Amino acid sequence: TGLFEDRVDQMVTAIAYKILAEAVATDGGLLNERESLHIHPDKVWWCQAEAMVGFLNAYERTGDEAFITAVDKLWQCIKTYFIDSREGGEWFWSVDSLTHTPSEREIAGPWKAPYHVGRFGLEYHIRRERMRTNQPTSQVHPLYEVHKLQQEVLLSRSNIVNTTFYNGVYERYTY
């Protein structure tokens, strides 16, 4: 049951292979979107971050090294084109797919918060370490317990308690 239910596993694995085949640019970055035959000309920051997590998920599900290769190429693309090298820099909102020119949009703001980049950073570090040390994917990493505790504290101090969303997010972390 859950995330590894057969029909769900087959569906998300098929989606991962489709994205790998059709949405990864030659520089390793993920194309933003396609409508009919029109491909959006920008690569967007959060799509890159979530693609890293998605390809790591796909590798853990399939063991197919093509997904690790995609992760490595995407990380190189992010480091080369997305990370603002100025002191205190964040990721650029987007870069042009052909010229790699960063967009003029804000570096941070109410919509562009550090959620995707922070989540990517934790997921990437934890999973690569787990792969390096041959830990099984079903093992819960200690940082997830810290994250769970932090969320419980934040939720207990706020008027917004959405336990369905929170539990769903945490379930992702336990695999």
Q: Say what the pLDDT of residue 85 is.
A: 87
DSSP string of 111-163, one letter each residue: SS-SHHHHHHHHHHHHHHHHHHTT--TTSPPHHHHHHHHHHHHHHHTSS---H
What confidence tens digit (pLDDT) does each residue in 108-137 have?
Answer: 777 777 777 887 888 888 888 888 888 776
pTM: 0.73
What percent of the chain is modeled with pLDDT above 70?
74
Residue 35 has pLDDT above 70, yes or no: yes
Q: Say what the pLDDT of residue 88 is.
A: 77
Q: Say what the pLDDT of residue 167 is.
A: 35
